[in-house]
Amino acid sequence: MKRLLLLTPVVVCFLVPLACDLQKTADQLSAETVMVGTMLSTPDVPFSPEAVAGFDGGTSPDGGQSTITIPGQTAAVVFLGTRKGADSAPEGLTGATVALQINSTQKVALSADGAGAYSRNNNTDTTLKYQDGATYEFLADHQGQHYVGQVKDAPARENIPALHPASGVVRMAANTELAFDRADPPSGQDRTLGFVTVVPVSDSGQQGEPTYTNAPKVPLDFLKLVAVPTEWRAKHVSIPSTAFPTSKQTYLVIFQSVRLGSPESDNLFLGSALLAGTADVGVVRTQ
């Protein structure tokens, strides 16, 4: 620092922005507070149980077809915690005031769910809608500290042609792998993260428990994703055969295209995970 005092004013002007960035990075590296913030959305999924079953020779009693729409979901979730070590699970911080701010104009308050988790979804707040290209800020206030994480340019839905054959439904044998390639990203841009989830669905539109997902599940998994995101940026995506264990079963394959953001405030750990994305959904029917 003493050497900086000897530099000419012009040189100092050039170095100050770099010094500020380095100081911010140093502060974030040593910060103990971590944030995992996600703004994720899936679209409505219309399908006809009779049409899907028809691939197996089935028809409805009156020869007609019904259409069921599985409603889309949009949810903002924040975990605020304090880290105790590089490989240990962070401890949740309760009593915080947490909100999602959209394009610096709309602010949606998140409700406390306990253990450091806060959330809001479109079932309880119809104003919560995913917007392509939006800037999402995850805001938290806790014991006099203000924390900010941000995702810029929320991605649009990534179309996966393999999930949308001309027939409208992917036909395949049970216990069969499903694989496809993602399109190349625009020149100069990184490919977004790709999260895959497979969910069985009944003829009445009721969703069961996922049979497969490669998405992180707990805060520590999200923090590790920030450090090594390569797996989720791969061009080739392979869904294991175990994701489709039952014959004559309908499954939804949900492919979430997700952009990774960053902490903005100096008091938030550099490895905090901030994500926003929306999904393409395909219907699979096993034989």
Of 40-54, 213-227, 265-279, give the lowest mean pLDDT range. Answer: 40-54
Q: How much is the pLDDT for 63? A: 56
Q: What average pLDDT score do residues 163-173 get?
A: 94
Structure tokens at 227: 């450090």
- Work out the percent of the chain whose per-residue pLDDT is above 70: 89
The pLDDT tens digits of the residues spanning 93-106 come to: 999 999 999 999 99
Q: How much is the pLDDT for 47? A: 84
Q: What average pLDDT score do residues 10-17 get?
A: 43
- Cα gap 140→118, rounded to integer Å: 10
Name residue, tokens 């490919």.
Answer: 191
- Cα gap 172→177, rounded to integer Å: 9
The pLDDT tens digits of the residues spanning 47-106 come to: 888 888 764 444 455 555 688 899 999 999 999 999 987 677 899 999 999 999 999 999
Other C-beta atoms lying within 10 Å of the C-beta of residue 142: 17
Residues with Cβ within 8 Å of 72's Cβ and at least 6 positions away in sequence, in order, are 41, 42, 43, 44, 45, 122
Domain regions of the chain by residue span: 10-286
Q: What pTM, to 2 d.p., does this model score?
A: 0.88
The pLDDT tens digits of the residues spanning 117-153 come to: 999 999 999 999 999 999 999 999 999 999 999 999 9
